[in-house]
Structure 1
Amino acid sequence: MFIPEHYKNNDIEEVYEFLKNNSFGILVNTVAGKPWGTHIPLELEKHLGQKDILVGHIAKANLQSKNLVDGDEVLCIFNGPHSYISSSWYQNEEVPTWNYIAVHVYGTVKIQTPEELLKSLHALVDKYEQQSEHPISLNNMSKKTMRQVSGIIGFEIEINDIQAVNKLSQGREHDHPKIITELEKKSASEKAVAQEMKKQMR
């Protein structure tokens, strides 16, 4: 990913927090010589003394699954808040632009065993059911329902490289108050960009 130096985010703890909070990503590999992407949850797991990993699963019916092989390198893309930035918000004339946060993760694939897949599914469901008014558990589902697990493959991606960008009007700090004010008038995504810009000002 092309990242001008002043937009790079080299704070790994901040990047990991972003990955935890924006875990619905895009898994990219190659199918029949063409790039192929699937939108899926990719959960970060940290391992002391070892490389950290992303954990996910896809349907066996997805052609991408036939091209996930142990040792292959894949790309995972994670998007955060983004917004158009009007140059009418600047003190001096300049072209409009776009502010955004994104992370690209490159890693090596390892296909999970059925036991590892089931363990990761339990962890995934338990994580997101915590916010439910009436949380469910895979432990309480029938054997018939759980047979659907045979239709997916699980994998781990050992992280080799992380590229993180926070493009938040750096270099235009004198315009930040006006940009933030305008963003806060708009939708949730624009307001989230405004919040991220405020963090940069602290």
Structure 2
Amino acid sequence: MFIPKYYKVTDFEKIKEFINANSFGTVVTTEKGKPIATHIPLHLNKNGEEYYITGHIAYGNRQWRTFDTCEEVLVIYQGPHAYISSSWYGHENVPTWNYQAVHIYGKATILEEEELKDDLAQLLKKYEKHRKAPILWDNLSSQLLEREIKGIVGFKIKINEIQAADKLSQNRNEGDYLSIIKHLKKEENPMSQQVADIMENRLEKDK
């Protein structure tokens, strides 16, 4: 991913926070030279000093069969994004787009059945524990779990490289930056308002 120096993120704690908040990612591999992708929820795990991305896909999805043949897998995470009109600047310029994104590269391997069960239990806990009637691994019948688990393939991706970008108008002067926030908040698109909030929070942290 091309990342100008203004927008490059190297703070791993911030990257982890972003991944956990935007964990529905895209897994990209190649099959006979053609890129293929799957959009799925993913989980960031640590084992010793190593970090892994884990997830699962349908057994009928041929992408899992490419894990052995691909030297590296690309995982893409994206946050809210918004169009930035140059009419919001105090000088002549061209429009652009603000966004947050993380690219992760690593080697993928297939999870053993017990590893997959543990990963699924963690996934359910993450998204269900706060609900009034949570659906957790231990609440489901063994018959249902055994049937469903046969239809999926779990995987883990050992992280070898991380590229992270926060393109949030950091290269603009204070007046333009505040103007962008103001105009984004007026947009009807909810993601534009989310980008405004992120930019505003960044400004508060820098004070």
**The TM-score by the shorter chain falls in which range?**
over 0.9
Q: Does 1:196 align with 2:195?
A: no
Deviation at 1:71, TM superposition (A): 7.7
Give 1:123's aligned amino acid.
Q
What SS does the corresponding residue of 2:81 show, helix, strand or coil?
strand
CA apart distance, 1:33: 2.0
Q: Aligned pairs, how many? A: 201
Provide the identity percentage: 47
Q: Is the 8 A contact 1:183 1:193 kept in 2?
A: yes
TM-score (norm 2): 0.92
Residue type of the alignment partner of 2:90: Q
* Distance of 2:142 and 2:180 partners within structure 1: 54
Report what 1:26 is aligned to: 26
How many Å separate the matches in 2 of 1:46 and 1:106? 16
Q: Look up the equivalent residue of 1:177 and give its one-letter code.
A: L
TM-score (norm 1): 0.94
1:80-159 superposed matches below 5 A: 80-146=79-145, 147-159=147-159
Gaps of 5+ in 1: none
* Distance in 2, Cα, partners of 1:172 & 1:60: 48
Moved more, 6-15 or 169-178: 169-178
Residue 179 of structure 2 is matched in structure 1 by 178
Which SS does the other structure have where 1:16 is aligned? helix
8 Å Cα contact 2:80-2:191 kept in structure 1: yes
Alpha-carbon deviations, 1:87-109, whole Å to 9, x = none? 11111111100000000000111
The reply to whether residue 169 of structure 1 matches residue 175 of structure 2 is no
- Unaligned runs of at least 5 residues, structure 2: none
User: Where do 1:70-89 residues align within 5 Å?
Assistant: 72-89=71-88
Alignment partner, residue 9 of structure 1: 9
Shift of 1:79: 0.2
Q: Tell whether the 8 Å contact from 1:70 to 1:111 is kept in structure 2 after alignment.
A: no
Q: Indicate the RMSD between aligned Cα atoms, in angstroms.
A: 1.5
Larger deviation, residues 188-197 vs 91-100: 188-197
Corresponding position of 1:54:
53
Q: Note if contact 1:82-1:189 (Cα within 8 Å) is conserved in structure 2.
A: yes
Aligned counterparts of 1:27 and 1:39: Cα–Cα separation in 2:
6
Does residue 64 of structure 1 match 2:63?
yes
Structure 1 residue 130 displacement after superposition: 1.6
Find the aligned partners of 1:70 and 1:130 in 2 and give their Cα distance: 37
Query: Is the CA contact 2:30–2:70 (under 8 Å) kept in the aligned structure 1?
Result: no
Separation of aligned partners in 2, 1:155 and 1:13: 24
What's 2:36 paired with?
A: 36
